[in-house]
Amino acid sequence: MFPNVRPRRLRRHPRLRDLIRETHLTANDFILPLFVRHGENQRIPIASMPGQSQLSVDLLAQEVKEIEELGIPAVILFGIPEHKDATGSDAVSDDGIVQQAVRAIKAETSNLLVMTDVCFCEFTDHGHCGIVNDNTGMVDVDNDATLRLLAREAVSHAEAGADLVAPSGMMDGMIETIRMGLDDNHFEHIPIMSYAAKYQSAFYGPFRDAAESAPQFGNRATYQMDPANGREAIREVDLDVEEGADILMVKPALSYLDIITRVKEAHSELPLAAYNVSGEFSMVKAAAAQGWIDERQVALEVLTSIKRAGADMIITYFAKDASRWLDD
Ligand code: PBG
């Protein structure tokens, strides 16, 4: 009898397909990014990210209620300050936009996990992820000067009530510096999720509109990783594990599924997050708006693939819609 091995037998009955499914996506996998801005009663749609908006602090209460009701466990906050300057001083201010947002959410909800992105690009007038000078003989982000500020930023977020901090600036030594800063200030219980392997990706384009954080000169190639490199990602995550990262992250996700798998294999002992970034979201939205693809099916397929590759959690702008779709 030919063929005697027939994988199709397991695909015939829908309940059997359910039983043998290897990857299960749930609302519990998602972390929703929120863009928080100054002002009152402001909900400003982000043109390049349909359905996403910048929200003023006073509108967060309503927003997080909806997020909690959908069963989404966490948000990650990005801030758009009223004033930007060379050192990104709003980022380390007790009254900074992210600190205000954390307090507002914490005052409203008991259970939502509040994560903060720890970086400077949204707060500096030049749009780079730290202090810029020419100490090394070229205009560049000064690694060690930035480290000192990163620790202050993380501590300030923790003081406001953040449950977890997520440094995204790709500075060498940032995890250890932030760990020491937190511990010195009695925040030894606050975990660090490291954007450990973060690539210099054109998929961040829409985010930079959303966060008004595009670099005003040059690019981020001296700190974010070259998309061509895979082995280097393992070196980056190894360092962050040694420095004390509690959760690792690969970013972006969709063009980096191989990196997700490799990082999960190298460090299966640690939880792994993947960031389904703005450009990945906007591509699906744009094609769906043209009627070229089915948004719901494609989005769920993308998210499932990220989980199948090895991610334990996914930062995604689809979090709310995907949670509703999974509930249907
Ligand atoms: C800040 C940061 C960026 C993103 C997350 N944190 C932008 C960047 O590095 O330029 C991008 C997220 C997205 O595209 O959705 N450093």
Nearest residue CA, atom 9 of ligand 1?
Answer: 204
Confidence tier at 109 by pLDDT (50, 70, 90): confident
Taking the centre of ligand 1 as the mean of its atom positions, its distance from the CA of residue 195, in whole angstroms, is 10
User: Hey, what's the torsion of the CAs at 292, 18, 32, 196, to 10 degrees?
Assistant: -100
In a domain, 131, yes or no: yes
Q: What are 262-272's pLDDT values in tens digits?
A: 999 999 999 99
Q: Say how far apart CA 73 and CA 31 lie, in whole Å.
A: 7
The string of DSSP codes covering 168-217 is -S--TTHHHHHHHHHHHTT-TT--BEEEEEEB--GGGHHHHHHTT---SS
The pair of structure tokens assigned to 129 is 């992820």
- Active-site annotation holder among 84, 106, 251, 285: 251
Q: Kindly report, residue by residue over 52-84, the tens digit of the pLDDT.
A: 999 999 999 999 999 999 999 999 999 999 999
Catalytic pick among 198, 264, 285, 320: 198
Per-residue confidence at 1, pLDDT binned at 50, 70, 90?
confident
4 within some domain = no
Is 264 a residue of the active site? no
* pLDDT beyond 80 at 110: no
Residue type at 279 in one-letter notation: G
Residue 108 pLDDT grade (very low, low, confident, very high; cuts 50, 70, 90): confident
Q: Determine the pLDDT at residue 195.
A: 97
User: Is 65 part of the annotated catalytic residue set?
Assistant: no
Single-letter amino acid, residue 250: V
Three-state secondary-structure class, residue 135: coil
pLDDT, tens digit (0-9, with 9 covering 90-100), for 186-236:
999 999 999 999 999 999 999 998 988 899 999 999 999 999 999 999 999
DSSP letter at 124?
A: B
For ligand 1, residues with CB inside 6 Å are: 117, 119, 121, 129, 168-169, 204, 207-208, 277-278
178 pLDDT band, cuts 50/70/90, is very high
With respect to residue 14, please indicate whether it lies within any of the assigned structural domains. Answer: no
Q: What is the total count of domains within the chain?
A: 1
Dihedrals phi, psi of 24, to nearest 5 degrees: -120, 120
- 15-27 pLDDT per residue, tens: 999 999 999 999 9
Q: How far is the CA of 327 from the centre of ligand 1 (A)?
A: 29
Q: Flag whether pLDDT at 160 surpasses 90.
A: yes
Interface confidence, given as ipTM, is 0.96
- 297, burial (CB in 10 Å: exposed 0-12, middle 13-18, buried 19+): exposed
Average pLDDT over residues 166-190: 97
Task: Give me the residue label for tokens 């009955």.
Answer: 13
**Domain harbouring 80, CATH code:** 3.20.20.70
> Which of 121, 212, 254 to mutate for ligand 1's pocket (most ligand atoms within 8 Å of CB)?
121
Tens of pLDDT, residues 120-155: 999 999 999 999 999 999 999 999 999 999 999 999
The pTM assigned to this predicted structure is: 0.97
What residues form the annotated binding site for Zn(2+)? Answer: 119, 121, 129
Segment 257-294, tens digit of pLDDT:
999 999 999 999 999 999 999 999 999 999 999 999 99
Mean pLDDT across the stretch 85-106? 96
Does 10 reside within a domain? Answer: no
Domain that holds residue 232: 26-327
Q: Are strands 74-80 and 140-141 parallel, antiparallel or unpaired?
A: unpaired
C-beta separation of 238 from 266 below 8 A: yes
